[in-house]
Structure formats: structure tokens, C-alpha cells
Structure 1
Amino acid sequence: MKSHQATAQRAAEAARTQDSAGVRLDKWLWAARFYKTRSVAGEAIEKGRVMVNDQLAKASRTVRVGDTLAVRQGDCPLARRIVVKGLSETRGPAPVAQQLYEETEESRAAIAAWTAARPYQADPAQSIEQGRPTKSDRRQLVAWQRWSVSLDDESDKG
């Protein structure tokens, strides 16, 4: 338990010292535990899944206290709206990471509504009635295409 408390204290001290300056966006997202690694955070930023103050950002962008982030994660089409409350370059325990940001009420409500409606939405996999055609199905398709082409050719001549 002491090592956990020491880690939490070090992370809190690092957050206090970083408040005046800024932290790279990919480091902050990793430290705040939005992504498991910095490289995954960088990929999400490159794909345009993270916006800072309603602008597309690069991984090297400096995040400051008070900035508003929009972060899309997983299969949810909605972005979480987050206000930065603290800065940290080190990844600490989850309770410390949760103190680095605050999610807006509108964002929480929108995601809760989407989560509640999700079971009633159509699943793309359910629209597939059959899988791949079998070998005999493919042969029938080829035979049908061969006959249909020849019938079309004869109707054009007459």
C-alpha cells in the first residue's frame, strides 16, 4: 500500500508542477488513462478522434488547464467532452488520473442515452442472411451468368 501512496503523491506533485506550463496532448491522454499507451493515443489523434478547443490537433499540441477536449473512444460515435483540470506527464493510479479532468454534464447525458438505445439499434451483422456462397452456389451463379449473357446477346440481334 505504501508504494501505491507514494506513486499517488509523486503523480500529484508532478501535476502541480506542470500546471503553469503545458503537456503534450498524447502524454496527457496517456497519463489521464484514456489510452493504454502513448502510441495508441498518437494514432487516435492522427485519425482525428481527438479535438482540442473544437480544433483538430496533433500529438505534439500543448494542453493547458481549462482546455476543452472532445475524445472519441471505442465504437461509440459520440465524443466525450472533457475539461482539463490538471496536467501530468506521468501515468499514475486511476484515482489520480480522474482528478486531471472533468466530463461535462451534456456529454454524460448524451453517452448515457446512446448506451441505453444501443440494444435497439440494428446490428450490421444481422443484415447478412447467408454467408459466403458454397462451391455449388458459385457454379450455379456462373451457369446462370453464362446463360443470361447468351440470352441477352440473342435478343439484341433480333
Structure 2
Amino acid sequence: MRLDKFLKISRIIKRRSVAKEVADKGRIQINGKVAKSSSSVKIGDQLQIQFGNRIVIYEIRELHESTKKEDAAQMYTLISDEKQASED
């Protein structure tokens, strides 16, 4: 499954166009490698996403073509959510 589609379906990022933009700016890594929106994801992959000064790491548990809102959180496990120290 494409990275941007996974982010939308799992509701980590609400819109696919936003997921594509974030990925294409180099803010997402899959298993430690910078990923593009068209990169393929599979079960067991770790996603590291930079949201401003936060770095969030998820592990993919399930892949679905579509999902209900209440089932979306089962597609991944939150591993870490850390704020980066701001550089003054």
C-alpha cells in the first residue's frame, strides 16, 4: 500500500494530499530511510513522522483498503511521541 494512502486510511493524517505533501518534503521515514508519498509500506514497518517540533514513531500492524473511524487506530501502534528541543 502507498504511504500516503496508509496515512489517510489510518487517520494519522486526515487528507491524502496533506500526507503527500509531508512525505515529499522529507519529513517521513520508513525503517530509518526517507520516504516519498509513493513509497510502499507493509506490516511491521516503522514510520517516523516529523510534525513541526514533534517526532512521532508508529509501527504498522494492519493494512486495509478502507476502515471505519473507530477501527483506524488498530492499524498502527504508537511507539514514541517526543518533542525536539527548540534551537535558539
Using the size of structure 2 for normalisation, the TM-score is 0.85
Unaligned runs of at least 5 residues, structure 2: none
Which structure has the greater CA radius of gyration? 1
Q: Aligned pair count?
A: 87
Q: Tell me whether 1:83 sits opposite 2:59 in the alignment.
A: yes
The answer for the alignment partner of 1:135 in structure 2 is none
Percent identity over paired residues? 33
> Would you tell me which structure has more strand in proportion to its own residues?
2
Using the size of structure 1 for normalisation, the TM-score is 0.50
What are the within-5 Å matches in structure 2 for residues 1-150 of structure 1?
23-73=1-51, 75=52, 77-93=53-69, 95-104=70-79, 107-108=80-81, 110-111=82-83
> Would you tell me which structure has more helix in proportion to its own residues?
1
Conserved? CA contact 1:31–1:90, under 8 Å: yes
Where relative contact order (Cα < 8 A, 6+ residues apart) is larger, the structure is 2
Tell me by how many angstroms 1:78 deviates. Answer: 2.7
User: 4+ runs of 1 displaced by more than 6 Å?
Assistant: none
Looking at structure 2, the residues matched to 46 and 89 of structure 1 have their Cα atoms a distance apart, in angstroms, of 22
Tell me by how many angstroms 1:79 deviates. Answer: 1.4
